[in-house]
Amino acid sequence: MPFLCSLLAHAAITTGALPPPEATWWPSDLPPRTETPLVETVPQHDARMAWWRESRFGLFIHWGLYAIPGGYWEGRRTGGAEWILNSVKIHPDDYMPLQQQFNPVDFDPMQWVMMAKNAGMKYIVITSKHHDGFCLWPSELTDFDVAGTPFGRDILGELATACRNEGIVLCLYHSIMDWTRPDYLPRRAWDDRPSNDADYQQYVGYMKGQLQELVERYQPAVLWFDGEWEGTWTHEDGQSMYDFVRTIDPAVIVNNRVDTGRTGMAGLTRSGGYRGDFGTPEQEIPATGMPFGVDWETCMTMNRSWGYQSFDVAFKPTKELVRKLVDITSKGGNFLLNVGPDERGRFPEQSIERLAAIGRWMQANDESIHGTFASCFTGLDWGRCTRRNLADQNQRLYLHVFESPTSGVIRLPGLLNDPVERGAFLLANPGAGPLTVEREGADLTIRLPEGMSVEIDTVLVLDIEGPAIVVDAPSIDVAEPIFLESTMLKFSAASDEVEIRYTLDGTTPEFSESSDPGDEPVEIRRSATVMARCFFDGAPVGKVATATLRRVKPLRAVQTLTSRPGLSWAAYLGSFETVAGLDGLEPAAEGVATSIDLSMQPRSENFGIRFTGFLNAPRTGIYRFSLDSDDGSMLSLGSVVVVDNDGLHSALEKSGVIALEKGLHPLRLDYFEGTGQDDLILKWSGPGFELQPLPAEALKR
């Protein structure tokens, strides 16, 4: 399948293909324990994910011993919330006595559940164990749990019962990291407990034992892992853990943080066989959503903190929270909104107020959230759109008006479907009568009620004939943005009812003066700025798609008297922020590598590796390189920087393309690791082969 180059990202089209049929809403009980095999068909996977996809809105609860200091330590305001042990560098021996102070006498699980339910939330994710290792259930595998506190009650058990009674689905967060468990590695720098007898695999076994307790006792519908970024947790560990918990309960849904494939705070899963049923963006919403079929959930705080901090009163306004929920739903995601209860088990008053206010909006508008799927529009200047399938193969559009246009009319650009006979109406007040819907070329317009004001989000309903067909910019499909002699372009649009016109000189296409590609590919033999646009009855529709194509000469290969297998490598020690920090340093170690990996790393963090040698291109042509690293990396061939993935960041993949002559090309790959998970993956594709790791025969010195 041709690679649609990133330069063409804005040339995407929106189709109206029907998503999977809607399922009946979840019963007032926990999910059934079905015997789904680990190797699923697509329908089996969709059935397992159905309740979660329909829910759209859940409550995240961060609660544990860290609620007791509430951001203070030894009388000082220190911050840190649930990370206070790490941020203040508290020795575990000084932190664990908080267990004897944990006595949340105001904990009322039914009150928690009802606040979530009344806010329109369908599931709760609570921290069974956070990074500090303290467990909110009586575990048979540790004394560092709620059973050893003055409170003594089974918090998860009571919450599970309350959830079951009110039809809320219970889900559990579980930390892979454990700062107080003696066998967990790596230790914090200030933790002077002897680690020579620490057994990390024994810790992994301990974690599996606890997860088996949780799954068998409380039957959580989701296991929400976190803390996978430290180098001791491997891709193999993630695969094993995912398979382990789904063997205990094949119906359980597991997030992608069980494995090491998460791409930073954006939270999506890298390619390469990583486990996980959904991505986990944190404190951010993807700007343009995700491709259809990619499950994801944005987790976000109401204020600034996940855990309770008494001084954190920077709570987001209700309007902002509702609009974030709508924005996420319109992009096909779920919203997991966090509350941090205090040391007595109380939600902060500001959280209670906002949950109640969200609930008032949801009471009138929840139909536009639950069970809906992503918008058919790439963007609407007045708000957002969600939709659902109707029984007669038609679709219902929920039009979320954030800002009422001064004209009193909202426009649905490029929507070719006609409205059904009823037309449009206000979701919260359907008895107010139909709204006027008119067609203007490829657009539909709806006249808003006279004097309509928008406080948070006013939702209109429009039923349309058939699945939505929306025409925006056409797609421009091209193998790569550079070529040697010629390349082929293919244009396509969302509907046969529109026509495409294109230019090659960077000018905006006009219907009568531009080229018509028809149904055949177009051959390009010179550098060009391609612009394409759709037309309906001769009038332009949607945005203009653009692609810049360059005819290039291949980078000349070099001649060497001899070459030997492998690359030379040098390891450096230090706290780096860019790969340039390696320059001028004396190596701590040197050697020869037969593959590009981190098997020679000198320590778990704060180091750098430089690979040098030659890349052997098997034939002349266009090559694409994909560089995935945590933290920074940079690939150069000769004097050309092919991929710049530099800087401090979590696992991030970037790619670059270059034309190479057959033969040897000087190669330099720089990499550095700050703290957290160490990761370096280099892949390539080229003439006659798909993206794959560089083979040993391609590496010379």
Instruction: Quote the distance between the C-alpha of residue 424 and its chain's center.
Output: 34
- Per residue in 326-338, is it b (16+ CB within 10 Å) or e — as a string? bbbbbbbbbbbbb
Query: Judging by DSSP bridges, how do beta strands 621-630 and 652-660 pair with one another?
Result: antiparallel
Work out the burial of residue 678: count CB atoms within 10 Å of its CB; fewer than 13 is exposed, 13-18 middle, 19 or more buried. Answer: buried
Residue 415 φ/ψ, nearest 5 degrees: -85, 110
Kindly give the interhelix angle for 200-218 and 155-166, rounded to the nearest 10 degrees.
40
Question: What pLDDT sits at residue 37?
Answer: 56
Q: How many CB atoms lie within 10 A of CB 603?
A: 13
Looking at domain 475-551, its CATH architecture is Sandwich (2.60)
Kindly give the interhelix angle for 349-365 and 318-330, rounded to the nearest 10 degrees.
50
Dihedral sign for Cα 361, 367, 368, 369, please: positive
Question: What pLDDT sits at residue 185?
Answer: 94
SS (H, E, C) 57-91: EEEEECCCHHHCCCCEECCEECCCHHHHHHHCCCC
Pick the CATH number of 383-464 from 3.30.450, 2.20.25, 2.60.40, 1.20.120: 2.60.40
Question: What pLDDT sits at residue 425?
Answer: 95
449 cis-preceded (ω within 30 degrees of 0): no
Taking 70 as the pLDDT cut, the residues of the chain under it are 1-37
The helix, strand and coil proportions of the chain, stated in percent and rounded to the nearest 5, come to: 20, 30, 45
**Beta carbons of 50 and 43 less than 8 angstroms apart:** no
For residue 121, what are the contacts with CB-CB under 8 A and spacing of at least 6?
57, 58, 59, 168, 337
Question: Residue 180 and residue 75: Cα distance in Å, rounded?
Answer: 23
On the CB side of 612, CA atoms within 13 Å amount to 6
CATH 2.60.120.960 fits 567-700, yes or no: no
Question: What pLDDT sits at residue 387?
Answer: 97
Work out the burial of residue 288: count CB atoms within 10 Å of its CB; fewer than 13 is exposed, 13-18 middle, 19 or more buried. Answer: exposed
Which residues make beta-bridge pairs with 338? 60, 301
**383-464 and 475-551: identical CATH topology:** yes
Number of continuous H segments (helices) and E segments (strands) in the chain: 9, 34
Question: Residue 313 and residue 305: Cα distance in Å, rounded?
Answer: 10
Question: What pLDDT sits at residue 561?
Answer: 86
Query: Judging by DSSP bridges, how do beta strands 499-503 and 487-492 pair with one another?
Result: unpaired
Which residues make beta-bridge pairs with 672? 608
- Placement of tokens 């205990």 in the chain: 248
Q: Identify the CATH number of the domain defined by range 41-364.
A: 3.20.20.80
Question: Residue 625 and residue 188: Cα distance in Å, rounded?
Answer: 36
For residue 67, what are the contacts with CB-CB under 8 A and spacing of at least 6?
104, 307, 308, 340, 341, 342, 343
Length of the chain: 701
- Placement of tokens 């008119």 in the chain: 438
DSSP E strands, 493-651? 499-503, 522-524, 528-536, 539-551, 567-573, 589-593, 607-617, 621-630, 633-637, 640-645
Question: What pLDDT sits at residue 258?
Answer: 96
**Beta carbons of 144 and 135 less than 8 angstroms apart:** yes
Question: What pLDDT sits at residue 24?
Answer: 30
Instruction: Quote the distance between the C-alpha of residue 298 and its chain's center.
Output: 7
**Beta carbons of 119 and 215 less than 8 angstroms apart:** no
Dihedral sign for Cα 309, 315, 318, 320, please: negative
Question: Residue 238 and residue 223: Cα distance in Å, rounded?
Answer: 13
Dihedral sign for Cα 29, 35, 40, 44, please: negative
**Beta carbons of 444 and 419 less than 8 angstroms apart:** yes
Closest CA to 343 of 84, 58, 115, 120: 84
Structural domain boundaries in the chain: 41-364, 383-464, 475-551, 567-700
Q: Coil, helix or strand for 254? A: strand
Closest CA to 235 of 212, 205, 210, 258: 258
